[in-house]
Amino acid sequence: MIKFTTVKNTEGKITQFTVDGHSGYAECGSDIVCASVSSAVWLTINGIEKQNLAQLTYEERDGFVNCIISDTRQEGADILINSLVMFISELSGQYGEFLKFTQN
């Protein structure tokens, strides 16, 4: 199961998200849940980073990504992050057996 977790600051802005695990929906290379989560996560990270919308630090390894977003950021970063969260929320509603979504 993939576990997707967010952390918010006192203002309610997401300052961190973590993706951990493998969905187990299908074999590697055919897993639509894994591919969907991975694509959305990297679209968000690359979009923020390449457009200089916020300072990011992230750690990546097999089945794991942890991304920390600076509090000082442009509105576009929040739009991308919130879009990611909405997408993951919807996806977990459809594939809850393979994806758990938690907001802290």
pLDDT digits (tens, 9 = 90+) for 4-63: 999 999 999 999 999 999 999 998 889 999 999 999 999 999 999 999 999 999 999 999
pLDDT tens, position by position, 53-99:
999 999 999 999 999 999 889 999 999 999 999 999 999 999 999 99
Would you state the torsion angle of the CA atoms of residues 17, 70, 39, 89, taken in this order, to the nearest 10 degrees? 40
pTM of the model: 0.93
Domain ranges of the chain: 6-103
The CATH number of the structural domain formed by 6-103 is: 3.30.70.1490
Q: List the one residue out of 16, 54, 17, 74 whose CA is nearest residue 3.
A: 17
For residues 18 and 5, the answer to whether their CB atoms sit within 8 Å is yes
User: Are residues 14 and 69 in contact, defined by beta-carbon separation less than 8 angstroms?
Assistant: yes
CA–CA separation, 94 vs 88, rounded Å? 10
Question: Residue 51 — φ and ψ, nearest 5°?
Answer: -95, 5
